[in-house]
Amino acid sequence: MSDKESKSKDYKAENIRVLEGLEGVRHRPAMYIGSTSKTGLHHLVWELMDNSIDEAMGGHCDLIEATINKDGSITVKDNGRGIPVDIHPVYKRPALEIAVTKLHAGGKFDKSNYKFSGGLHGVGISVVAALSKLMKVIVKKGGKIYQQEYKIGKPIYDMKALGDCPKDETGTSVTFLPDDTIFSTVKFDFSTLSSRFREMAFLNKGLKIMLEDKDTEKKEVFHYEGGLIEFVKELNKSKDELHKPIYFFKEQDKIEIECAVQYNSSYYENVLSFVNTINTTEGGTHVVGFKTALTRTINDYANKNKMNKGENLTGDDVREGLTAVVSVKIGEPQFEGQTKTKLGNAEVKGIVDAAATTALTVFFEENPTTARRIVDKAMEAQKARNAAKKAKELVRRKNAFSVGGLPGKLADCSSNKMEESEIYIVEGDSAGGSAKQARNKENQAILPIKGKILNVEKANPIKVFSHEEIANLITAIGCGVGDQFDIGKLRYAKTIIMTDADVDGAHIRTLLLTFFFRFVPKLIEQGKIYIAVPPLYRIRKRGDHYVYSDDELKKITSKFNGNIDVQRFKGLGEMNPEQLWETTMDPKTRLLKKVTIDDAAQADVTFSKLMGDDVEPRKQFIAEHAAEAQIDI
């Protein structure tokens, strides 16, 4: 009997495992919440917040309170209608228990109950319960207070009535302690929560969201009567805006469309889109409809007023310096996948297109000065695009004289398989020389850059593409930028920024990240950009020990009772190739930080503050975050 036949005979009915109840969630948590890292941990909070937001969208809730408790648990409380507590006709158990303990059980499937909903899959609260060591739900409804607690998704006791409350006092409070055997971290991050809550409050004008950390005593309240108008103002706060926000709202075929638009003097677009308050980071039909309308309307106005000189403006031209928020609410949204990042409903494109075209046309007719300013901005972008195209061609011609069309400074790897190749962007020739000697030539490429590259936040595209270091970077990575971006042409699975562990190194790292964020954000979104973490110290005591933080140094110093030889590494060039390989480049021992964009809106604001022309917001940002900074002496 062959091995294949033997193996096939072993595969019987007894090998089929049925995961009962919420067991499947614990077995494969990433299927439901994306990951078991910090992102997945906070996804649990988003699931509960979505339930409360759905109540707010239905007009049943105007206050949500989130509290990080001292024991590491978190409470999300709203003043909505409260989860039903009556006995379920099929399961003969309280509806609260069914909602918490069964997947795909919830009120979102009944359209008479929720007109619009972000939580469509009915897995929200049950997934939170399954991945929590302990969860407590308190419901106020019908003049009574009810409570039930759960351990890893299973009820500890039957739902019980705790007492009476005023009949007009309703709502749901959920407290959960995440399971530290599931998650790599169970510490909730105040800034991650506040960024998302701010966004939710902007999208639901009049809703008040309160956030408190009992441990640090931090508190924030988010409440915006101006809604999306205040949202675009906030996004443009660190920029030089060209006009007051343009705003429109339209309801058609049971779809609500809300949009705010404001141009600024920068060279980048920032279009945020939402469906039922869910951030659709990959856009979708609502964004396509909006962008189509914007391009057509601006071209129509330019042609009608004889401002155009023959060549029509492209989408990229009219979106330079654009900040916009597009929010739609729809009864039956079709998302691409459980992650809900792209809207697929075909009918939404035409409805948004028509609504935006009408609103923008009326605004331009009534505000000719602003309209001309927007068209002029787009025409300047057109000139810059044509000049940048020539600059790119010049870069290509220049690089054609290098080996294989690649920059002469690049020490490429021998492998031509993208998935196993990586490129180190290294500061300075000295560190570049060490890195070239230290690397694994099979799959590690080295690109040295000299000094501080151009700050792309302040420079127009012509200057960017003419800058030698940036041109080399674009050519080496291979996937192009802007409208020529093609992920299929990417040459390396990992692009690793490797700079000195000092102030200058941090500045160079920020300049590089600004370039990636503004010109190739998809590389960050798809997890292709990394930061190398070189050691801060070398300790000599019965061999060499490398230390990557001051906290780690304190622990080791106390362990050896003080009299040890400590060397502080000021730069990568101080290490010999063997040390650089062992500490920073060997995949078995190195530390890498993956660069992510948890919140695109917040990232845009932060880059504008740190790298833009306006000095005052930068001073304010540094003052606010000074305590978090690691000062290098």
Kindly report which listed range (79-88, 119-128, 508-517) carries the lowest average pLDDT score. 119-128
Q: How many domains does the chain have?
A: 4
CATH number at residue 105: 3.30.565.10
Q: Taking residues 152-162, report their average pLDDT.
A: 96
95 is written with which tokens? Answer: 């509806």
Indicate if 176 and 240 belong to the same structural domain: no
CATH number at residue 318: 3.30.230.10
Kindly report which listed range (8-17, 404-413, 494-503) carries the lowest average pLDDT score. 8-17
Report which of 67, 69, 96, 70 is spatially closest to residue 81, judged by C-alpha positions: 96
In percent, the amount of the chain with pLDDT more than 70 equals 87
For position 17, what pLDDT does the model report? 40
CATH number at residue 478: 3.40.50.670
Indicate if 112 and 146 belong to the same structural domain: yes
Band of pLDDT at residue 627, cut at 50, 70 and 90:
low
Is residue 274 situated within a structural domain?
Answer: yes
Is residue 91 situated within a structural domain?
Answer: yes
Domain end point (choices 166, 193, 218):
218
Q: Is the pLDDT of residue 542 over 50?
A: yes
Is residue 495 situated within a structural domain?
Answer: yes
Cα angle at 66 between 64 and 70, to 5 degrees? 160
Q: Taking residues 370-398, report their average pLDDT.
A: 81
In this structure, how many other beta carbons lie within 10 angstroms of the beta carbon of residue 67?
Answer: 18
Bigger pLDDT: 137 or 340?
A: 137
Indicate if 239 and 374 belong to the same structural domain: yes
Is residue 395 situated within a structural domain?
Answer: no
pTM summary value: 0.76
The answer to whether 370 and 243 are in contact (CB under 8 A) is: yes
Indicate if 584 and 444 belong to the same structural domain: yes
Distance CA 392, CA 453 (A): 17
Indicate if 264 and 285 belong to the same structural domain: yes
DSSP state of 417: -
Q: Is the pLDDT of residue 9 over 70?
A: no
Is residue 269 situated within a structural domain?
Answer: yes
Distance CA 71, CA 248 (A): 45
Bigger pLDDT: 310 or 186?
A: 186
Let me know if 160 is exposed, middle or buried by CB neighbors in 10 A (0-12, 13-18, 19+): exposed
Residue 542 region, left (φ>0) first, then alpha (ψ -120 to 50), else beta? left
Indicate if 201 and 157 belong to the same structural domain: yes
Which backbone phi and psi does 178 adopt, to 5 degrees?
-60, 150
Distance CA 152, CA 507 (A): 45
For position 234, what pLDDT does the model report? 93
Indicate if 372 and 292 belong to the same structural domain: yes
Q: Is the pLDDT of residue 611 over 90?
A: no
For position 337, what pLDDT does the model report? 59
Average pLDDT, the chain: 87
Q: Taking residues 411-439, report their average pLDDT.
A: 93
The answer to whether 149 and 157 are in contact (CB under 8 A) is: yes
Q: Is the pLDDT of residue 530 over 80?
A: yes
CA distances from 60 to 77, 78, 82, 168, 322 (A): 14, 10, 10, 12, 35
How close are the terminal C-alpha atoms of the chain, in Å?
Answer: 71
For position 107, what pLDDT does the model report? 56
Q: Is the pLDDT of residue 402 over 50?
A: no
Domain that holds residue 182: 23-218
For position 111, what pLDDT does the model report? 52
Is residue 8 situated within a structural domain?
Answer: no
Domain end point (choices 354, 386, 418):
386
In percent, the amount of the chain with pLDDT more than 90 equals 59
Indicate if 490 and 501 belong to the same structural domain: yes
The answer to whether 168 and 80 are in contact (CB under 8 A) is: no
Report which of 225, 196, 230 is spatially closest to residue 211, judged by C-alpha positions: 196
Report which of 99, 145, 361, 401 is spatially closest to residue 246, judged by C-alpha positions: 361
Distance CA 127, CA 323 (A): 36
Band of pLDDT at residue 461, cut at 50, 70 and 90:
confident
Q: Is the pLDDT of residue 608 over 50?
A: yes
Indicate if 234 and 213 belong to the same structural domain: no
Highest mean pLDDT range out of 18-32, 395-409, 552-566?
552-566
Q: Taking residues 454-463, report their average pLDDT.
A: 86
Kindly report which listed range (245-249, 251-255, 548-552) carries the lowest average pLDDT score. 548-552
Band of pLDDT at residue 6, cut at 50, 70 and 90:
very low
Helical axes 285-304 vs 346-366, angle rounded to 10°: 30
Element at 82 (helix H, strand E): none
Is residue 413 situated within a structural domain?
Answer: yes
For position 389, what pLDDT does the model report? 76
Tens of pLDDT, residue by residue over 477-509, are 999 887 778 999 999 999 999 998 888 888 899
Paired sense of beta strands 246-252 and 278-279, if any: unpaired
Q: Taking residues 204-215, report their average pLDDT.
A: 96
Which backbone phi and psi does 487 adopt, to 5 degrees?
-60, -25
Q: Taking residues 105-111, report their average pLDDT.
A: 54
For position 485, what pLDDT does the model report? 86
Distance CA 474, CA 395 (A): 10
Q: Is the pLDDT of residue 13 over 50?
A: no
Element at 459 (helix H, strand E): none
Paired sense of beta strands 208-213 and 218-223, if any: antiparallel
Domain end point (choices 322, 352, 386):
386
Q: Taking residues 334-357, report their average pLDDT.
A: 87
Reduced to 3 states, what is the DSSP secondary structure of residue 618? helix
Q: Taking residues 104-130, report their average pLDDT.
A: 66
Indicate if 504 and 619 belong to the same structural domain: yes
The answer to whether 469 and 463 are in contact (CB under 8 A) is: no
Indicate if 456 and 548 belong to the same structural domain: no
The answer to whether 563 and 423 are in contact (CB under 8 A) is: no
Alpha carbon 135 to its chain's center: 28
In this structure, how many other beta carbons lie within 10 angstroms of the beta carbon of residue 54?
Answer: 27
The residue with tokens 């799959």 is 443
For position 505, what pLDDT does the model report? 87
DSSP state of 107: G
Tens of pLDDT, residue by residue over 614-626, are 767 776 666 665 5
Residues carrying an active site annotation:
427, 500, 502, 504
For position 547, what pLDDT does the model report? 86
Report which of 260, 266, 262 is spatially closest to residue 239, judged by C-alpha positions: 266
Indicate if 72 and 197 belong to the same structural domain: yes
Residues linked to residue 172 through DSSP beta bridges, in sequence order: 78, 139
Is residue 173 situated within a structural domain?
Answer: yes
